[in-house]
Structure 1
Amino acid sequence: MDLTQPTAENVSYMIDKIKEKLRMVNVDAMKADNFDTEQYEDLVYMYEMVMKRETITPNEMQAIAAELGSLRKA
């Protein structure tokens, strides 16, 4: 997948992959519709950081969820 273009499809893909990797329980809070392409670079950064990690501690998971929450549309 070419993530260099800030498209809604790419946003949806990255959010889905982050949810899978984090095994998030409250997936409703992480709907791709809640994000737009204005913060695309930040979202790509979060996606790449999460995908690089073998394991993610509960504290890191909480911090990632908080950061993603700050990227959501108002």
Structure 2
Amino acid sequence: MNLNEPTNENLRYMINHLADQLQVVNRGLMDPEDYDLKHYEDIKDIYDMTQMRGQMSVSEIQAVVGELGKFRKK
């Protein structure tokens, strides 16, 4: 899988992986269908950052989830 290509499949993969990594309990907040492909690069930047960080504090997780919320379809 080449995540450098902005496809719906890649977007779904990243959102689902982020939801798992961030241990999001309410998966409705991170439904891949709620995210638009036009924000792919922003979401990929967040995905890449979380992959480099590894373990994150609760406040960091909340900040990431909040940032992802900005890219949800309205």
1:43 alignment partner in structure 2: 43
Root-mean-square deviation (CA, aligned residues, Å) is 0.8
How many pairs are equivalent?
A: 74
The residue correspondences of 1:1-74 to structure 2 (distance < 5 A) are: 1-74=1-74
1:51 Cα deviation from its structure 2 partner: 1.2
Off by >4 Å, runs of 4+ in structure 1? none
Structure 1 position 24, deviation (Å): 0.8
Structure 1's unaligned 5+ residue stretches are none
How many Å separate the matches in 2 of 1:6 and 1:71?
15
Scaled by the length of structure 1, the TM-score of the pair is: 0.95
Structure 2: runs of 5+ lacking an equivalent: none
The Cα shift of 1:52 comes to: 1.3
Instruction: Provide the C-alpha distance between the structure 2 equivalents of 1:29 and 1:23, rounded to a whole number of angstroms.
Output: 12
- TM-score when normalising by structure 2: 0.95
